[in-house]
Amino acid sequence: MPHDHHHHHHHGGEGRLSLAIAVNLLLTVAQIIGGIVSGSLAMIADALHNFSDAMSLVIATVARRIAKRPADARMSFGYARAEVVAALINYTTLIVIGLYLLYEAGMRFLAPEPVAGWMVVIIAGLALVIDLVTAALTYSMAKDSVNIRAAFMHNVADALGSVAVIFAGTVIILFGWTWVDPAVTVLIAGYILWMAFSEIGSVIRILMLGAPDGLDADAVLHRIQQTNGVQGVHNAHIWLIDERKVGLLAHVVVSEGHWGQADAIKADLKARLHTEFGIDHMTIEVECTRHSCVDAPLIGAGGHQHNPINLVAHHGK
């Protein structure tokens, strides 16, 4: 039942994403024209970021479609990582935009230009409305997809940027302080960079075949060792296949006298690891005590620097 809901969610989401893309592109054009006419760098900065919102949504939409393809001979794990790659692209563009805005703000501090405050406030107000509409369209989808979350983060930063631009325009109208415009641009850029750097690590972890953040690999290996009929474990790999699926590959040494129950031991292991650690995809190679790998590392493949591990000794039990 949850599986069906997940697919329904995907189909309902594409219409919302298309609408979000359209309104963002229209807004980008309005903001660029307004920024040029009014002389506001903050508004052009906001427009540039808004355009990146639209592009991030395009990338997210394409990635969602690719991710739904079933596994085939070329992609035996399926295409779900397309969404992770899309998230990496979107966070990287956020970082580039943030750095560019810092550069432009620095140049504007050195050579101030006049800014038409009223036009800035009006167009930024319109931008804020569009940003909030886009956020509403993508919020529910962002909860269970690193890909849509990256696009949503673009949008949240943009909404805050619009608020900051409205503030800058109002201050310029009231006090004539044009330096507020580049100062606000620095704040927008700083927030974008902080947000992108805080999120990009989890995306890189998936692409680097890292284990899930909250999963204790030692606890998983200890649980394997504790299973009745298991003498040791080595050549273990634990990794994120995509944002939600965890994979495990391991060589398990069956204790002397238990070889007749090897299949039952393997089935028991898989059930335990799925229930206790949420591991979905498991490949367990069973070995008898007399013919187990020699000098195999506990974690990872190859290597001759370690002896086969007996985790009872390893964990001080």
Residues 130 and 237 in one domain: no
Query: What is the pLDDT, as a whole number, of residue 55?
Result: 84
User: Which strands make up the sheet holding 246-254, listed edge to edge?
Assistant: 230-240, 246-254, 281-288
- Give the residue-averaged pLDDT of 162-173: 81
Query: What is the pLDDT, as a whole number, of residue 249?
Result: 93
CB 220 within 8 A of CB 272: no
Asked if pLDDT for residue 309 goes beyond 60, the answer is no
* Percent of the chain predicted with pLDDT > 70: 88
Residues 83 and 231 in one domain: no
- Give the residue-averaged pLDDT of 216-224: 90
Q: What pLDDT band is residue 4 in, cutting at 50, 70 and 90?
A: very low
- Give the residue-averaged pLDDT of 218-241: 90
* Strand stretches in 3-117, DSSP E: none
Q: What pLDDT band is residue 277 in, cutting at 50, 70 and 90?
A: very high
Asked if pLDDT for residue 152 goes beyond 60, the answer is yes
Q: What CATH number does the domain containing 229 carry?
A: 3.30.70.1350
Asked if pLDDT for residue 62 goes beyond 80, the answer is yes
Q: What CATH number does the domain containing 195 carry?
A: 1.20.1510.10
Residues 159 and 232 in one domain: no
Residues 131 and 48 in one domain: yes
Per the structure, the count of domains in the chain is 2
Report the C-alpha gap between 243 and 144 in whole angstroms: 9
Question: Residue 168 domain-assigned?
Answer: yes
Asked if pLDDT for residue 149 goes beyond 60, the answer is yes
* Strand stretches in the chain, DSSP E: 230-240, 246-254, 281-288
Asked if pLDDT for residue 310 goes beyond 70, the answer is no
Among the listed ranges 59-73, 91-105, 123-137, which one has the minimum average pLDDT value?
123-137
Q: What pLDDT band is residue 159 in, cutting at 50, 70 and 90?
A: confident
Asked if pLDDT for residue 294 goes beyond 50, the answer is yes
Domain that holds residue 247: 217-314
Residues 130 and 174 in one domain: yes
Question: Residue 212 domain-assigned?
Answer: no
Residues 155 and 68 in one domain: yes
Query: Whose CA is closest to 217, among 202, 239, 232, 201?
Result: 239
Residues 153 and 36 in one domain: yes
Length of the chain: 317
CB 153 within 8 A of CB 199: yes
* Percent of the chain predicted with pLDDT > 90: 22
Name the phi and psi angles at 299, rounded to 5.
-120, 135
Residues 163 and 246 in one domain: no
Query: What is the pLDDT, as a whole number, of residue 308?
Result: 42
Asked if pLDDT for residue 8 goes beyond 60, the answer is no
Per the prediction, the chain carries an average pLDDT of 81
CB atoms within 10 A of CB 81: 22
| pLDDT per position as a tens digit, 28-41 | 888 788 778 877 77
End residue of a domain, out of 173, 207, 241: 207
Residues 151 and 265 in one domain: no
Query: What is the pLDDT, as a whole number, of residue 214?
Result: 83
End residue of a domain, out of 207, 233, 248: 207
End residue of a domain, out of 186, 207, 228: 207
Query: What is the pLDDT, as a whole number, of residue 293?
Result: 81
What Å distances lie between residue 196 and 35, 90, 139, CA to CA? 25, 9, 17
Query: What is the pLDDT, as a whole number, of residue 205?
Result: 92
| pLDDT per position as a tens digit, 70-119 | 989 998 888 989 989 999 998 998 898 889 889 988 888 887 766 666 77
CB 229 within 8 A of CB 258: yes
Higher pLDDT, 158 or 183: 183
Residue with tokens 């086969």: 308
Residues 30 and 83 in one domain: yes
Report the C-alpha gap between 311 and 316 in whole angstroms: 8
| pLDDT per position as a tens digit, 190-204 | 988 998 898 899 899
Query: What is the pLDDT, as a whole number, of residue 12?
Result: 54
Residues 48 and 150 in one domain: yes
